[in-house]
Amino acid sequence: MKKIALIYMGGTFGCIGEPLSPIPAENFIPQLQRVLPLHLNIECFVAPSIKDSSASTATDWLQLIQLIQNLQLKNYQYFVVIHGTDTLSYASATLARFLGQSAHVVLTGSQYPLLNVSGTNTREFTDAIDNLNFALDAVATSSVGVYLAFHHQLIHAQTALKRHTTESDAFAGINAKDNLITHQQSYVVHEHDIEKAQSFNCLSLMAQPIAIEQQIKNLKNLQQHPPHALILQGFGTGNLAVNEELISTLHTLQAQGCAIVLTTQVPFGTINQHYAVSEWTQHANIIISDCLGHADLYAKALKMYLQYDSVDQWHAHWHDSV
């Protein structure tokens, strides 16, 4: 029988009360064990970091990855992670980028708590049990890789997007039944990676239809304290209004150690280099995103940051299988 490691990382799934507040993990795990299918070989673990997922950062996900990799050394190969929905897409993409095809991993969560207000029994109406059972079934039957299981949809983790704040059908992405060619190399997380990730500064700037002079001012404001990675979310296929001053401003940021990546703010589809966007991006010497969604771009930027220390190295290795 396949041995499944069920890792609890907090979120609405493990909350009680009105308004909702989390139960301490040591009190929640026994309640969780009561609803697990008896025919499966499941062992429960508590993630190194338990918090509201809106407060989760790269450090929390790297610690989770480290836990999974340590459990792999103990012959676990099947993992289900319970995580809050606010940053579930980011967690999913990060695990996919770092674990690759090294294990069977399914993340899930819920829009409603597992337990009632008092925490004494399961909630009368909840999607928590359904999502958990679906994830447990999916991890045992799906091919190796990382997935998000939610509302009877199994999604490739790198493509996950939260599309609704409250509905049970909360996530979109490429269905796991559809072929997604991925060549992610697994990355063994060490303590120095977790320490370095604490300083990771990634800023996403979504273009608005404002005068180009204002766009330039916004970019120049970053020059005092530039991030490690600046993601420019353009219109359509990545289009932005540019001139020589804007490109010069981008060059200044790059010279200060800021890697600049162009993507689109459109949720689905990729950048099309047949448009005018191609010429100015070469002049500006910025990186063009080849990722499968915004969360995947965040995860790739994090991995690049941990591996490389200069903007030139980002350019040289961006299209490697990282």
pLDDT at 19 (0 to 100): 87
Burial string for 257-295 (b: 16+ CB within 10 Å, else e) reads: ebbbbbbbbeeeebbeeeeebeebbeebebbbbebbbbb
- What class, spelled out in words, does domain 201-317 have in CATH? alpha beta
Q: Is the pLDDT of residue 278 over 80?
A: no
Return d(Cα 163, Cα 295) in angstroms, integer. Answer: 13
pLDDT band at 275 (very low <50, low <70, confident <90, very high): low
Q: What angle do the packed helices 244-255 and 277-284 form, to 10 degrees?
A: 40
- DSSP one-letter code for 141: H
- DSSP one-letter code for 212: H
pLDDT band at 178 (very low <50, low <70, confident <90, very high): confident
Domain 3-172 belongs to what architecture? 3-Layer(aba) Sandwich (3.40)
Average pLDDT over residues 253-259: 97
Q: Which of 12, 59, 94, 159 is catalytic?
A: 12
Judged by average pLDDT, the poorest of 15-24, 81-90, 91-100, 188-197 is 15-24
Return d(Cα 271, Cα 239) in angstroms, integer. Answer: 9
320 is in an annotated binding site: no
Distances (CA, A) of 153 to 7, 66, 130, 200, 271: 20, 27, 11, 32, 26
pLDDT at 181 (0 to 100): 64
Where along the chain do its domains lie? 3-172, 201-317
Average pLDDT over residues 273-277: 52
Average pLDDT over residues 187-216: 97
Active site annotation includes 12: yes
Domains 3-172 and 201-317 equal at CATH topology level: yes
Report CA 221 to chain centroid distance, whole Å: 28
Contact yes or no for 59/194 (Cβ under 8 A): yes
Residue 304 buriedness (CB in 10 A; 0-12 / 13-18 / 19+)? buried
Contacts of residue 153, defined as CB under 8 A and 6 or more positions apart, other chains included, come to 169, 171, 173, 175
86 is in an annotated binding site: yes
- Residue bearing tokens 């961006």: 318
pLDDT at 272 (0 to 100): 60
Average pLDDT over residues 289-303: 95
Two tokens at 94? 């990060």
Average pLDDT over residues 184-200: 95
Contact yes or no for 289/262 (Cβ under 8 A): yes
Provide the mean pLDDT of the chain. Answer: 93
Q: What does 256-319 look like in DSSP terms, one character per residue?
A: TT-EEEEEESSSSS---TTSTHHHHHHHHTPEEP--SSHHHHHHHHHHHHHH--SHHHHHHHTT
53 is in an annotated binding site: yes
Two tokens at 243? 């001139």
Judged by average pLDDT, the poorest of 73-87, 150-164, 262-276 is 262-276
